[in-house]
Structure 1
């Protein structure tokens, strides 16, 4: 496949060319809690959305995707409506998000592409950040990292209609190579904890199931609502009143009240609450394990997160569960869990790099036999951590962007 730089030069012949490198991300701990204002962790990986672009003064947005057909073209003053399932929605949303607080004068000419099968690694956040960075650069908008997270989250929630939190955007934008990013989603406060010298080297296994569909068509939004209903019930049990469901989150209910009234929560609402409160504790324990360099304890918490995601949060699909079970029993895997929302896409694992061949062989021996319909599309990839999204200005055509 041609690089974005090559296709850009063939299509536009514009100078100067800038490159956005916007990484995909993993969430080792903190699964399914960001939309409830919980505690999360994240890391960027060295697989990314790459975009070559230059600014123009005619106000038109022209973006060619290498991965999807057609070219997206519109004027910044006439942004088309959202079309369900269309790859250009995130571009349209990025323009509208910036126009909430800024005046755009310039458009961009661009070519964009991604690496790896990307379901479950938050390609949507990565691609949105790429558009935002390019549009800000073209229009001399000095946006902070926190503002970029806010803009990107607006695109997902207000324009696309997905009721998610800010984990994906935060991991994509704030991460630094070799650090664990942790964030309190209720306040936006975050910290970067360096990998200790005594922690063994590790890599990230990304096993793509072959199952790919938009989150908006899954139970994702239903799970968000179920968590909020659980919060309403707990609040009523504790206080005799309920906040509006649009406003309340499980984080608004103290852990002590959850412990006191847990047994009175019915069915699935208890399971959703169980996942939230235990996952928050796993994040706290995981940060402590990371600080000590105890990658085995960190990995054990990842496995516990995976089990809770399956049994308490009830995400997943048969294909992802197969991959998770393979990784759980595979030598060299410190910890594993579904990636992203966990309804399609990938399983991720923190692994000992010495066992990469063994891990690949185990997956290749089992997965295509159990799920032959995906035998030609599933993939096993290995990644390292990386810095967050950034612009590579004044691109030198003799330098390849990895």
Structure 2
């Protein structure tokens, strides 16, 4: 559990956002707004380390200055009563009710994550005598953003329930509680990148997570080049360009299929080297083994393995570029990661690829890639501070020309967001 008595992340959440959520909870619970706590769970981006977390690779992440806000007050009788700012309806159940995993992924909706958080804590052996009455609000849709919005929601519920029940859980343990939500309750084969970023990020640092050892480490931006920090800001902004795609693509092209292909490639390579008893993850394959036996892989498996090992090299190079404040090199690595995701990992819809290519042409952009798997959601870009607004307008205009119907439901000023780095998830208490 992370707590805060103030706003430690620049510009988010604003006083207006906090007041809005607190008033909603006050009305719902019949409590005073000054009694309402707010969990702030930022969204994350993954500049490098795409699609290798589930294989035990080293990934990078940073949070941004927007995300999920969950206002809540504890309920003494275990009641959980929730409303959403983005979805209709109301959720009501008791924290003591046994929770069973979802059998059909099509049944997942905004209410599932609260059930999942209770399931994870129950599975972890925690006694939930108290519930929460709350209102949850986010910037983008729960399942279509590519910004880890599902992990942010799951963690928000975990932190609120833990606080209400006076349970102290370290961030690393909460990472694996969130995995229980995603893997065991929802049936998604997600790795630990998203919850690690949300719970462990530090403002001004790039978080590196070794998904094999489960150990995080951080690298400060421009540690040897303070001149790139302008008036207390970093020399870059983050663009998030939304595709407008909201529907699920066929399962055969989805996330779980790619995970299975990576494991199949690892199994073939390990077997060729005589390590048939090793867990079939690409992190357990030595690069020399890969080079010696990659010719034995079927075409699809060869592409997945090539992406893994080339992406691992990009992460290592990216750490050096980030620490030196070398945005040109760092951005180039991001773009190469994007291209490998398309060509070797073979993810991304044609619309998302189109959006990625538009971002690469925008003024001041150092690099771009998908945020998420690339079948829907958004693309991210790192852009020079003095070009951010111009680049955002360029992308809005060009993508609207290419996909007018897809963006028609998104307000013009929401189609591309200009963001800054953020901090970690925390609970914000009202000022007395």
Give the whole-Å Cα distance in 2 for the aligned partners of 1:334 and 1:5. 39
Give the whole-Å Cα distance in 1 for the aligned partners of 2:396 and 2:373. 24
1:259 aligns with 2:291: yes
- 1:350-392 Cα deviation digits (max 9, x unpaired): 1112112321232233212221221313511011011110000
The equivalent of 1:220 in structure 2 is 255
SS of equivalent to 1:55: strand
> Aligned pair count?
393
The equivalent of 2:157 in structure 1 is 131
* TM-fit CA distance, 1:88: 1.1
1:98 aligns with 2:121: yes
* TM-fit CA distance, 1:77: 1.9
Gaps of 5+ in 1: 397-402
The equivalent of 1:335 in structure 2 is 367
SS of equivalent to 1:74: strand
Give the whole-Å Cα distance in 2 for the aligned partners of 1:173 and 1:243. 34
- 1:211-233 Cα deviation digits (max 9, x unpaired): 12458955100000000000011
Moved more, 26-35 or 84-93: 84-93
Give matches, 1:125-204, under 5 Å: 125-196=151-222, 197-199=226-228, 201-204=235-238
The equivalent of 1:272 in structure 2 is 304
Is 1:232–1:243's contact at 8 Å kept on the other side of the alignment? Answer: no
TM-score (norm 1): 0.94
- 1:221-260 Cα deviation digits (max 9, x unpaired): 0000000000011112221x6348xx42111111110011
1:85 aligns with 2:104: no
TM-score (norm 2): 0.87
1:353 aligns with 2:379: no
The equivalent of 2:264 in structure 1 is 229
- 1:273-326 Cα deviation digits (max 9, x unpaired): 000011011001100111111111111000000000000000101111111101
Give the whole-Å Cα distance in 2 for the aligned partners of 1:350 and 1:385. 11
Give the whole-Å Cα distance in 1 for the aligned partners of 2:371 and 2:299. 25
The equivalent of 1:3 in structure 2 is 20
Moved more, 212-221 or 122-131: 212-221
Moved more, 282-291 or 197-206: 197-206
Give the whole-Å Cα distance in 2 for the aligned partners of 1:214 and 1:143. 34
> Residues 348 and 267 (structure 1 numbering): CA distance in 2 closer, same or farther, change over 3 Å?
same
> Residues 41 and 266 (structure 1 numbering): CA distance in 2 closer, same or farther, change over 3 Å?
same
SS of equivalent to 1:28: coil
Residue 418 of structure 2: which of 371, 382, 390 is its match?
A: 382
Residue 242 of structure 1: which of 252, 260, 276 is its match?
A: 276
Give RMSD over aligned pairs: 1.8
Give the whole-Å Cα distance in 2 for the aligned partners of 1:79 and 1:199. 53
Give the whole-Å Cα distance in 2 for the aligned partners of 1:357 and 1:237. 52
The equivalent of 1:399 in structure 2 is none
SS of equivalent to 1:224: helix
SS of equivalent to 1:235: helix
